[in-house]
Amino acid sequence: MNTFSINTLVRENILKLKPYISFRDHNEFNEPIYLDANESPFGEWNRYPDSTQRKLKNSLAELRSLSPAQIAVGNGSDELIDLIIKIFCEPKKDAILMMNPSFAMYGFYATINENRVLQLDLDENFEIVKEDFLKTVKEESIKVFFLCSPNNPTGNSTEDIEFYLQNFDGIVVVDEAYIEFSGKKSSLELLAQYPNLIVLQTFSKAWGIAGARVGVAYASEEIIQLINTVKAPYNVNALSQELILNALEDENRLKDNVRDIVAERTWLQDQFKDTDCITKVFPTDANFFLIKLKDIDKVYAKMLEQEILTSRRDPAIPGCIRINVGTRQENEKLVNLLKNI
Ligand SMILES: *Cc1c(COP(=O)(O)O)cnc(C)c1O
């Protein structure tokens, strides 16, 4: 992947695009009088947010030991997935590649952009079959490979991420929405080596701030510049930027959240092991796991009766439900129900 520039992968219209520049966000002022954006002069949230998300990026850059120019912030990582597809995939021509089963949003946004969605069927341990990958990526129209690790909904991580970076002449997006729960190394450390890598992370899961809708892309400055160019100027609202900045200053927040969830995950796993209606508990690196049930229709109906919401994954994954870790009280209610079936 070091043989050519990223620009050869970018759609032509995107390469020509001039970004919308908010003058006030790209210049330094002391005490400006804002008469430039038709805002109200009254109120607390009367101003448009910083379109460059400068403070947020500086804070993240420090945390990750990267440059702010290697960071893009989105309205959830969902927005970043959408933008990445729009930057690289020509409608009606190019394709994305994803694992199967994996996170549905990759296919959703690709389909909206009229790009084909090619899938790599995972093996019985939910792992990628490397020979299939090598065969599939020979197709030149594949521009982006979405590699979800730990994978949603299977919960397992992909080993040897570098293999995929080295053997694909397109963009590899490593979606690390659940990395904090995994104890495995983040692919962030590979950024310096691989210009075709984008790492996605989010504040929606381990950070516990899904309501704010904030996701982050880490990549080369070139790729980040492209994302900055195509994004809506004010894509992350002022309240969310402030909320996330405060969360980043709270050193223990993430650690405590992750410790508590991982402890509950272990407790739930133990409980599930001797629950008759469950035939298999899949290993997980995330805050959820897949369980296989003897009679999924019956169990799911009982759960709904008690308003316990879980995610059915059948028929794609036969007999399986994805359940995420809740509080001890919530988990106990779930376990009681399952043990009494
Ligand atoms: C939950 C999740 C996300 C997070 O999306 P946000 O838009 O940041 O909330 C991204 N990728 C995967 C695989 C997920 O499961």
pLDDT (tens digit, 9 = 90+) per residue, 8-23? 999 999 999 998 888 9
Residues 125 and 196 in one domain: yes
Residues 327 and 201 in one domain: no
Q: Which of 214, 249, 284 is a domain's end point?
A: 249
Average pLDDT over residues 138-149: 96
Residues 274 and 321 in one domain: yes
Residues 159 and 279 in one domain: no
Of 205, 222, 225, nearest in space to 213 by CA: 205
Ligand 1 pocket residue status of 176, Cβ below 6 Å: no
Residue 290, beta-bridge partner list: 322
> What is the domain range of residue 280?
253-339
pTM of the model: 0.97
In ligand 1, which atom is closest to the CA atom of 203? Answer: 8
Domain membership flag for residue 137: yes
Distance in Å, CA 107 to ligand 1 centroid: 13
At 251 the pLDDT is 82
pLDDT (tens digit, 9 = 90+) per residue, 39-78? 999 999 999 999 999 999 999 999 999 999 999 999 999 9
Distance in Å, CA 23 to ligand 1 centroid: 32
Residues 6+ apart with CB under 8 A from 9: 88, 143, 170, 171
Distance from C-alpha of 98 to C-alpha of 104, rounded to nearest angstrom: 9
- CATH number, domain at 309? 3.90.1150.10
Q: Which of 103, 174, 218 to mutate to test the pocket of ligand 1 (most atoms within 8 A of CB)?
A: 103
Residues 80 and 221 in one domain: yes
Residues 69 and 208 in one domain: yes
Ligand 1 pocket residue status of 201, Cβ below 6 Å: no
Instruction: Give the pLDDT band (50/70/90) at residue 316.
Output: very high
Residues 257 and 127 in one domain: no
Q: Which of 196, 218, 249 is a domain's end point?
A: 249
In ligand 1, which atom is closest to the CA atom of 205? Answer: 1
Closest Cα to atom 3 of ligand 1 = 177
At 189 the pLDDT is 97
Residues 114 and 234 in one domain: yes
Domain membership flag for residue 32: no
Average pLDDT over residues 259-268: 97
At 249 the pLDDT is 95
Distance from C-alpha of 199 to C-alpha of 218, rounded to nearest angstrom: 5
Residues 6+ apart with CB under 8 A from 22: 48, 51, 52, 233
At 4 the pLDDT is 61
Domain count of the fold of the chain: 2
